[in-house]
Each structure stands twice: as structure tokens, then as C-alpha cells.
Amino acid sequence: VFPRLISFRILRSHTLCPLLPVTCDSSLMLRSRVLSTLRSHALRRSYSSIGVFPDLVKDKTVQLTNSRGVNVIHDPLLSKGTAFSLAERERLSLRGLVPPRCQEMDKQLARVKANLDACETPLSKFVFVTALQDRNETLFYRLLIDNLEELAGIIYTPTVGLACQKFHSIYRRSRGMYFSTQDRGAMSAMVYNWPQEEVDVIVVTDGSRVLGLGDLGANGMQIPIGKLSLYVAAGGIRPKAILPVVLDVGTNNKQLLHDPLYLGMGHPRLDNEDYYTFVDEWVQAVKGRWPNALIQFEDFKYPHAYNLLNKYRDEVTCFNDDIQSTSAITLAGILAALKARGLQQEQLSEERIVCVGAGSAGVGVCEGIIDCMVAQGRVRTREEAYSKIWMLDQHGLLGNAAISSNDPGRMAQGPDRPVKLDERQRNYAKMDLPDRISLEEVVERVKPTVLLGLTGVNGAFTEKAVRTMAQHTEKPVVFPLSNPDTHAECSAEDAFKWTNGKAIFASGSPFKDVTLPNGQVCRTNQCNNSYSFPGLGLGITVSRATKVTPSMFLETAKTIANLASPSQLKEGTLFPGVAQLRQVALAVGTRVCEVAFEEGVASSKLKEGEILQEVVKASMYEPEYVPLVYSP
């Protein structure tokens, strides 16, 4: 019977975006806009020379396993909890090992959700859902997809920041792989300790710059785990094909070094040549076993983040999330804000943009904006595009130290910067303005239309700066993007209060809408790369792209910027809700997949007559139980 079952196939529906109730008006509008976006890119055309890898299309009616008994129960990729059928219990030697009554997923979800709702704090909810993921991944992802708006902030920012800080004290079970300084010379063998033969997406961190929290060493593992959970839930990547990784090169966090419960290496960080040699050994080891895997570099400090990206972007399929994915969603927010202000997206080069933060995220975001200005053709040179952005670091404006300033505070800092600007930062230095002048003075002189925050410093946007900005522009665009919310440059309430409700607001972590004393309801937006990286990963995986190109990020931004309806833009809403991340990923993934084919970096094939959009949709993982069959 069972060999015959294996040959059967389920004919899956390719209906676009079936995940939200059809009775929801906003969902219907988003579906229409997604479909319109896909059609506008001519995604319904066929590629006669192209066939998708069949391993991504989830059409099997059964899953084979060589495990039996408690090994099935304790494998989160196989376990169904109480949902094993009587036939499965017999053939997998499970009789007597689980409660006798078979309960399907709907009842399991009801039980799990009731217990989740009883958790009183975000951290307790995090611990609860992590325990669920450790015992039953199918049920975990079903719960997550059905409750994305509620749980995205639990498994990722802002709660994941606290979970990272407490990782060594709430540790329960190992997930992912750790490569430490004691593993040098052994990494090419170590990668074979991972049980999965196929890995599509790897998220790797060295824990040196975790969100806005700084150096958390091996505690940073929660970031790759959280990112990959969103890759699965929003982007449809297969749970068995993801790998979270920490490169433990030590930590300079003295509190962790002196904590007896800390689980990472207890020495200062490697640096310079030792550091890059260590990372290169890991990259080569991963490349040797999983040459097609997408590597996402996550939370690497500046300048390591840029140096690693520049070294490996043409050698392996990789990108840096903080530099490139954050840039894509920020650009999407600015383009959508242009539409919300009644302007054309092609008028980007007419904006006056102040960016507070000159690290890897700040420079990366601004480089994406520059790329878009150049692509739009409204600037004659890239240097002209740089003139549209004013950048500040912790010392103040990147300016001209030779120009005298009457600011005694600046003069007290001394004539020179403690650290010289690198070649990327120098592109943003303004030779017509004094070096290190304050944000308030920059706003007074520049009169910006857009204010970006990527500092990790709560309160970096001062009341005076924001109020001054609001005096000179009708709808100031205020984006405090640092995570978690406790490190945002300003709160939503402050931004709307200081601008008298005029601001177009977006933040990295979620803030609730604000109601002013006059009754005006001010809409907030979450400008987080959870809107961008799941779709990027989906498109790259389906196309089997050999390289991640700049056009993929630009097209990601343009796709997301066009998803909000005119009525939503009018009230200040720039993006679809977090509950619709899966639909956003489908639109982004399809466009990224097409870019891969257009630029000649796709290695997968489509059969003649196949529709790219439908192939991407069919490739997305759906958490559902399938019959398990023992195959020794």
C-alpha cells in the first residue's frame, strides 16, 4: 500500500494570497495590489529554457523516515504530538508512547494558544513558543503564521533583544551550530555534524553588534534563530533547510566574561587578520558542503560587516541584512512616504535627507537610497546624489574640520575626530559645513524633509531638532529605526507630539498608533527588514541564484513601496500590516526571482508554459501534517 501512496501527488491550488479571510476589505485590496504588481512586471510570461528544482515544491503525500518510537516523538521536524493516527502509531512503534486519543491540529492550536495567552510577559511568551518549536515545528509554524501580528514581536524584535541578553540564563536546548575559536582547523569536518543534507538559508552572526544592544557574544544566537523563523513563516523556506550559526570569536562584553553562566568563549574578541582567517575557514567549510546555500550575514559590527560583504559577495550567494535588507525596506518607506505626500517616487533626489548613524546600517541604508537616485536618472553623477544626504555619527555631522564653528562644545572636543572616516563615510562628508556640528544645527541649516535614525541610542532625536524640522516641512518623515524599541531614537508619541500630528512615522520596532489630545489618530508603521528579507530569501532560493545583485534590493524596495493603497497612504500607513508578511514575501520573492533570471544569475529551470508567480507560490512551505512512513 505505502509504496503506491508515495507515487501519488496532491494537485495544489495556485490561487494568489489565500492566507487572509476574504471578508477583510484591506486583505482584498492588498491581494489586488500584489496581483497588479506582479502583472506589471510581466511575471506571467514563460521562460522556455528554464525547470524549477522539484525539492522545493511541496507536493508529497507522505514523508519517509528511518526513525521509530521515541526518536520520532523527540524530533521536532517529525513530531505531531497528539496528532499521530492509529496507523502511524502502529507502523512507527508509537503505541503507548503518546496519549491514546488522536487530536488533530485545530485542537492542538486551541490548547497551545490558550496556554500562550496565559503567559504574562513577552519574555515568558518567548520561552513558551521556543519550547513549542523545540518539540513540534509544524505546530509552531502554524501558530506563528496564524498569529503573525501578535507573535512576530515575540520571536523577533523587540522581545528577541531581551532574550539575547538573557540567553545564557534561559537556555533550554541547543538549536543551530556554534563555531568557536577552539574549532579552528576543524570546521570543514564539523559542518558534517549537521544532520540535514540540504540547507537553503544560513543566517550567521558573530554577536558583535546585536540590534542596538552591542556586543552580546554567543548570546546573539537568538537573532539567527528568530530571523530564520520568519524566513519559514513569512518566506515559506522549508524548516529542515535552515541553519542558524554563531561564529564565537570571543566577546569584549566584560559583564558576560565575568558571568559564570555565560555559554560562549571567555576571552576577548579576535580581530584583524586572526578574525578574517577564522571567518574564511567557516565560509569555505559551508561552501564545501552546501554550495547552493544563501548566507545572510547578521549583526556584524562596522567595518567587519562591509569587509566581509565585499570579500564574499562574488564568491558565494550572500548578503548582509543590516546593510542591504535594511536599506531596501527603508528606501521602500521613503518612496511610499513620497506618495503619501502627494509627490512622485521619481522626486527622491529632491529630498533633503539627514541620517543619524554612520555605522554599517546607516551607511548601508544611504547607499541604497543613492542607488535608487542614480537609477531614476534625476542626478547626473553619484557624487551629486551624495550631496542630498547629510550624515552624523556620535560626534556630530561628517563635515569639514577646516571650517571654524562658533560652537564651543565642538571646539572642546579637540580639532580632530578620535577615529578617521573611512572611504565609505567620506562620501557623505560635507565640505561646506563644519565638522561635528549637532543635529539641531544641521536641521536648522539643512531644513530636512526626511530624518533617519540608525544609532541604537534612545533619545538621539531631540525635541528641538524634530520641532525645527516640522517648522520647515509640511509632512516631516521621521524614521527612528533602531531596535529594540528601548533604543529607538524617539518614540511615536514624541514624534507626533513635537510635529503636532504632521509626521509620517516609521520605526524599526512596533509602536502603537497615537491619539493626540485633539482626538487625531496618528498612524505608526514598522519599517523593519522582516518585510524584505523573507521575500529576498524566497526568490533567491527558488531561482537558485548564484549571486545576490544590487537590483534585487532595489526591486524589493519598489515592490514593497507600491503595496499600500491610496487611502492607506492618505492616513499615513506606508506598508501592509505585519499579519500580511506572507503576501508581501510572495510579491517580493516573485520579483526577485524574475530579476535573477533577467540578470543571468539563476541556475534553476522552468518548464515551458510554467508561470513564475505560480512556481514561487507552490514552493512556499505550508505547515501541515502529512502521513509518516517508516523506511529503514
Compute the C-alpha angle 49/55/61, nearest 5°: 125
Active-site residue (options: 80, 141, 156, 497): 156
Q: Sheet containing 450-453: give its strands across.
A: 396-397, 389-393, 353-356, 450-453, 477-480, 504-505
**Is 432 annotated among the ligand-binding residues?**
no
Beta strands (DSSP E) in 249-381 are 294-297, 318-320, 353-356
Q: Which residues contact 354 (CB under 8 A, 6 or more apart)?
A: 389, 390, 391, 392, 439, 442, 443, 446, 448, 450, 451, 452
Residue 561 Cα to chain centre, angstroms: 16
Q: Which distant-in-sequence residues (6+ apart) come within 8 Å of 406 by Cβ?
A: none
Q: What are residue 336's phi and psi, to 5 degrees?
A: -65, -35
DSSP state letters, 364-382? HHHHHHHHHHHHHT-SSSH
* Cα 567 to Cα 150: distance, rounded to the nearest angstrom: 24
Of 227, 287, 497, 617, the catalytic one is 227
Apex CA 560: angle with CA 557 and CA 561, to 5°?
80
Please check if 528 is assigned to a binding site. yes
Are the beta carbons of 453 and 480 closer than 8 angstroms? yes
Secondary structure in 3-state letters for 395-419? CEECCECCCCCCCHHHHHCCCCCCC
Distance CA 29, CA 313 (A): 37
Q: Is 393 annotated as a binding residue?
A: no
* Catalytic residue flag (residue 227): yes
Asked if 276 is an active-site residue, the reply is: no
Exposed / middle / buried, residue 420 (Cβ in 10 Å: 0-12, 13-18, 19+)? exposed
Residue written as grid cell 507502523: 91
The residues annotated with a catalytic role in the active site are 156, 227
Where is the binding site for (S)-malate, in residues?
Answer: 209, 483, 528
Where is the binding site, in residues?
Answer: 209, 298-299, 322, 483, 528
Where is the binding site for a divalent metal cation, in residues?
Answer: 298-299, 322
